[in-house]
Structure 1
C-alpha cells in the first residue's frame, strides 16, 4: 500500500471525499487564525494526532527497515525508497505508548521536512481534516519536565480530541538527531 501525495493540490483532491469541514454555526470563511488548515490525522495508541498535510509526501505500508547499530530505540533504521535512503522513526516508541505492535494497519507516513525525507511509523492513518482556526485551542501548560514544544494545539472533532503537532519541530529536535540544527 502506497498513497503518493505529490503536491498539496493532489493531496486535497485525492481526499476530497474524506475531508470534513468542521465549521460550526455562525462561522464564516474569514473566521480562522494561523492554527487552522488541513491535517492528516493518525493514531498512536489510544490518542489521535494531526500533522499539517503539506509536510506529508506519501503514506506507505510498514516494511522492516535495516537497523543501525547503537541507535535510539525509537529509531527503527532506514529503508530505500526509490533510491533515497529514508530514516524511519517509530512515533509510538518516541512517545512512550504502551505497545508498538506491527500489524496490517501499521503505516509509515513519509514526510518532507526541510527538504529531507523522513518516515514516521504510526498505528494507522485516519483521514484528512480541514480545521478552521477557531476550532483549534492552544495546548495546555504542562509541567516543565514534559516537552510539549511540538504540540501546536488541541481540536475537539466529533466527540474526540485531536492533538495537533508541529512535525517539523519534532523531527528537527536535537534528541531526534535527524536534522542538522544549522539548517534553517
Structure 2
C-alpha cells in the first residue's frame, strides 16, 4: 500500500487566500483555515500573559484566545475603525488573530507564487509558504497552522 502524499497539511499555490494588512505589509492565509471575520472587541485580559496574547472572548459559548499578530511581528498596534479579528480553525482549536484590516479573498494562480527568499539566519521564514505578486502588490503567504504551532506562540500542540 502506498503512503498518501502529505500535501493536504500545507496550503498549496492555486488555492484561495484571505488577504489582510499588518502595518504596511499585506499577508495572506489559506481561506480554508478561516472560520469567520469579526470587528475588534476588547477581549478579557489574562493575568501574566505575553503582550501579544490580548486575552479571550466568548464566541457563542467557546472561549477563544486572541493573538495580536501586529504585536507579535513588531508592528504598531493601534485599534482603528477597520481593525479586525480573523477567527481561525486550526488543528481542532479556535483562535482569533487581530489584524489592521482584512482586504479580500484572492484566487492565486500557481505561477504567481514564488518560494520565500533564503535570508540565512537573519529572517525566520519557517512560517512562510511563499510570496505572491499581483500587479503592483506583493502578498506574503503565511502558513498559519505552522505559526500557531510554533514554540514562540504555542497556541496549539505541534503534534495533534
Q: Same fold (TM over 0.5)?
A: yes
Matched with 2:6 is: none
Name the count of aligned residue pairs. 149
Query: Any unmatched runs of 5+ in structure 1?
Result: 1-33
Q: Which runs of 4+ in 1 moved over 3 A?
A: none
Q: Helix, strand or coil: the match of 2:147? A: helix
Matched with 1:42 is: 20
If the length of structure 1 is used for normalisation, what is the TM-score? 0.78
Q: Name the CA distance, whole Å, in 1 between partners of 2:159 and 2:112.
A: 34
Query: Any unmatched runs of 5+ in structure 2?
Result: 1-11
Matched with 2:123 is: 146
Q: 1:91 aligns with which of 69, 90, 93?
A: 69
Q: Helix, strand or coil: the match of 2:71? A: helix
Q: CA deviation at 1:139?
A: 0.4
Q: 2:139 aligns with which of 159, 162, 167?
A: 162
Q: CA deviation at 1:145?
A: 4.1
RMSD over aligned CA atoms reads 1.0
Q: CA deviation at 1:182?
A: 3.4
Q: Helix, strand or coil: the match of 2:35? A: strand
Q: Name the CA distance, whole Å, in 2 between partners of 1:96 and 1:143.
A: 20
Q: Which segment is superposed worse, 141-150 or 79-88?
A: 141-150
Q: 1:74 aligns with which of 34, 38, 52?
A: 52
